[in-house]
Amino acid sequence: NAGVTQTPKFQVLKTGQSMTLQCAQDMNHEYMSWYRQDPGMGLRLIHYSVGAGITDQGEVPNGYNVSRSTTEDFPLRLLSAAPSQTSVYFCASSRMDRTNTGELFFGEGSRLTVL
């Protein structure tokens, strides 16, 4: 199993450009989410999804869009990149049924720099 796969691992953007961070998981997890982590800080939740076709906002959703057309994929779109979006982005997934332990499985991260 590959687990949670994020691409790209590194990206440099200019202010105003748009891009999509990809996240895919092969564990058939219903729950998927995106976090961002700024230097020296903890992770903050951007958006999450409890299943295909269902998404909701987290703590810091502004400037980001998500969609969930399949169970496996949960892309994060930056509509018009700003320097404040320079960060490391983590995708995470987990089971949703009542037997789940609440354990989140994280990808390796995507490091984004906006100039």
1 is a site residue for another protein (CB under 8 A) = no
Name the residue nearer to another protein (CB basis): 33 or 85: 33
73 is a site residue for another protein (CB under 8 A) = no
Q: How far is CA 66 from the centre of its chain?
A: 8
Contacts with another protein: how many residues (CB under 8 A)? Answer: 32
| SS3 category, 84 | helix
In degrees, rounded to 5, the angle at the alpha carbon of residue 63 between the alpha carbons of residues 60 and 68 is 80
CA distance 105 to 27: 10
Binding site for another protein (CB under 8 A): 4, 31, 33, 35, 41-45, 48-50, 56, 58-59, 88, 90, 92, 94, 96, 98, 100-109, 111
